[in-house]
Amino acid sequence: MKTQPLYFFILFSFLLCFSSFAQNNNHNPDYHSFVQEGNKWNNVDVWAFPNPPIPIPDFIFHPQCFMLHGDTIINGMEYKKMYFSTRKDPIFPYDWSLRNFMREDENKKVWYKDISSGSEEILYYDFSLEISDTVPVDLGNNEWPVVVEDITYETINNGEQRKVFWLSKEKEIIQKIIIN
């Protein structure tokens, strides 16, 4: 019997190794905008393959790099161009390809637009969330809610403070997100 890989990605793991030199947003001096020229981050896609008769699947990890560089206007809205690479230390522009477009609004929401023409804008991240807010998360074919259990602050390498979102599914902490 031929088995097909089950594809899923780790919730918000793109922030595994977020590297940002963002400037403060004029509307809120404590908020560091995500959609800024030159921001780079890494993501890990995880492929799970069934491994009968053992109930634990085999996993393959696919690291990816993302970068915001340049901008464009689509339907009167300004977007940053988001580039993608699978190289460990990619060199721009040789190792990068245009993946999609992103913009951030005044409500701390990040919007994603696919590179294909006519695609709809999708809410990608919402950094205005508060403790106990529930967010639907799409992992492949399944959608399940996660809850913001706590919001704390950590000091990053340059000494600045960043907000940390602690997300859970049914009271089990599944991901720590450091962003703004």
Q: What is the pLDDT of residues 160-175, one digit of tens each?
A: 888 888 888 765 555 5
Encode burial over 135-170: b for 16+ CB neighbours within 10 A, e otherwise.
bebeeeeeeeebbbbeeeeeeeeeeeebbebbbeee
Q: Does residue 35 contact residue 68 with C-beta atoms inside 8 Å?
A: yes
Torsion of Cα atoms, 142 then 145 then 150 then 153, to 10°: 50
Instruction: Give the pLDDT of residue 19.
Output: 30
Higher pLDDT, 99 or 145: 99
Instruction: Give the pLDDT of residue 133.
Output: 92
Rounded mean pLDDT of the chain? Answer: 75
Q: How confident is the model at residue 102 (pLDDT cuts 50, 70, 90)?
A: very high
How far apart CA 12 and CA 5 sit, in angstroms, is 21
Higher pLDDT, 61 or 106: 106
Nearest to 47 by CA among 67, 31, 64, 35: 64
Instruction: Give the pLDDT of residue 1.
Output: 37
Q: Percent of the chain at pLDDT above 90?
A: 24
Higher pLDDT, 27 or 57: 57
Question: Is the pLDDT reported for residue 9 higher than 70?
Answer: no
Q: Name the pTM for this structure.
A: 0.65
Instruction: Give the pLDDT of residue 17.
Output: 30
Instruction: Give the pLDDT of residue 25.
Output: 39
In 10 A of CB 44, how many CB atoms? 14
Q: How confident is the model at residue 35 (pLDDT cuts 50, 70, 90)?
A: very high
Q: How far is CA 116 from CA 85, 88, 97, 123, 145, in A?
A: 18, 27, 14, 17, 28
Least confident of 93-97, 108-112, 130-134, 163-167: 163-167
Q: Where on the phi/psi map is residue 86: left (φ > 0), alpha (ψ -120 to 50), or beta? A: alpha
